[in-house]
């Protein structure tokens, strides 16, 4: 339980779901974490449960100045920064014909611009610590098209592309590994709303269920750890086989 011992991480969107599960998993593996979010009350509750190993920073990922403040707060509290988990994101499903400019701008600014600003903001601090890792949360919608996801999917495809370019630019001796994680359906409030309308929505997955946030966090821990020291520029799907294709029939029947 010490795969991240001595490391310091900044985790955006940490007030719930995958973000809070990742914060708990990191602390459980020996890391200290700066949890950031625009939802201050929920974020502070997460940090309260983690004790002295965590701090909370109110942080809008669309703002470069707030990124600088978040990085400075992490370094001031813990003396270094080794890991960024770019997790903050928003989901505004809408078909092509119904997407509004306001919704498109919001999704782009949080999901894509926010991650770009984050990688820029942490690079110097992580290099100063001797190198480290960035894990960008993308989506299965960043590897395949899904109806109603034209803007969300576009931002998640962009995360996938930015990850590969950043891995090239930030690598080298003492450099930074950069990888993207592509979850399918995860047990969150968002997915619960979908399941409410169609309780059998994931029955045709090879693994016919949604993931837990803890399962996604476990993958993030691995990619952030030294065990993944030769993995960079990779896109890792964790989707119950969704992208492998639907289970249309049982070959054993």
Per-state percent for the chain, helix, strand, coil, to nearest 5: 50, 15, 35
Contact criterion met (CB below 8 Å) for 47 and 56: yes
Specify the long-range contacts of residues 127-131, CB closer than 8 Å, at least 24 apart: 127/174, 127/175, 127/176, 128/80, 129/8, 129/80, 129/81, 129/82, 130/174, 131/174, 131/175, 131/176
Looking at residue 201, its pLDDT comes to 73
Beta bridge partners of 235: 180
Distance (Å, whole) CA 82 – CA 206:
36
If you average pLDDT over residues 237-245, what whole number do you get?
A: 90
What does the domain layout of the chain look like in residue ranges?
Answer: 8-183+214-240
Residue 230 bears catalytic tag: no
Choose the catalytic residue: 108, 152, 157, 202: 152
- In 10 A of CB 160, how many CB atoms? 16
Average pLDDT over residues 14-34: 97
pLDDT digits (tens, 9 = 90+) for 176-205: 999 999 999 998 766 665 554 566 677 778
What is the full DSSP assignment across 177-197?
EEEEEEE-SBSSHHHHHHHHH
* Residues near 155 by beta carbon (within 8 Å), at least 6 away in sequence: 107, 108, 111, 112
Residues 6+ apart with CB under 8 A from 33: 8, 9, 10, 11, 14, 23, 26, 27, 50, 53, 54, 55
Please state the pTM of the whole predicted model. Answer: 0.94
CATH number attached to the domain at 8-183+214-240: 3.40.50.720
Task: Answer whether 133's CB lies under 8 Å from 125's CB.
Answer: no
Share of the chain above pLDDT 70, in %: 92
Given a cut of 60, is residue 12 above it in pLDDT?
A: yes
Mean per-residue pLDDT, 7-29? 97
Distance separating alpha carbons of residues 154 and 113, to the nearest angstrom:
12
| Lookup: tokens for 185 | 């359906």
CB atoms within 10 A of CB 38: 17
pLDDT at 59: 97
Q: What is the C-alpha separation between 2 and 15, in angstroms, rounded?
A: 23
């Amino acid at each position: 339980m010490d795969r991240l011992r001595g490391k310091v991480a900044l985790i955006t969107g940490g007030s719930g779901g995958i973000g809070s599960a990742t914060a708990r998993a990191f602390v459980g593996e020996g890391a200290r974490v700066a949890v950031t979010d625009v939802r201050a009350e929920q974020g502070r509750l997460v940090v309260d449960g983690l004790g002295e190993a965590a701090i909370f920073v109110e942080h809008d990922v669309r703002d470069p100045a707030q990124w600088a403040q978040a990085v400075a707060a992490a370094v001031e509290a813990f003396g270094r920064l080794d890991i960024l988990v770019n997790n903050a994101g928003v989901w505004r499903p809408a078909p092509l014909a119904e997407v509004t400019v306001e919704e498109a701008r919001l999704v782009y600014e949080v999901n894509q611009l926010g991650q770009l600003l984050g990688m820029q903001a942490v690079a110097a601090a992580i290099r100063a610590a001797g190198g480290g890792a960035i894990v960008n949360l993308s989506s299965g919608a960043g590897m395949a098209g899904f109806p109603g996801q034209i803007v969300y999917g576009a931002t998640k495809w962009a995360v996938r592309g930015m990850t590969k370019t950043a891995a090239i630019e930030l690598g080298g001796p003492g450099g930074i590994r950069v990888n993207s994680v592509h979850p399918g359906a995860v047990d969150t409030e968002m997915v619960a709303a979908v399941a409410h309308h169609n309780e059998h929505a994931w029955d045709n997955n090879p693994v016919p269920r949604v993931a837990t946030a803890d399962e996604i966090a476990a993958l993030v821990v691995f990619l952030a750890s030294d065990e993944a020291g030769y993995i960079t520029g990779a896109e890792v799907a964790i989707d119950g086989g969704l992208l492998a294709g639907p289970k249309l029939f049982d070959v054993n029947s």
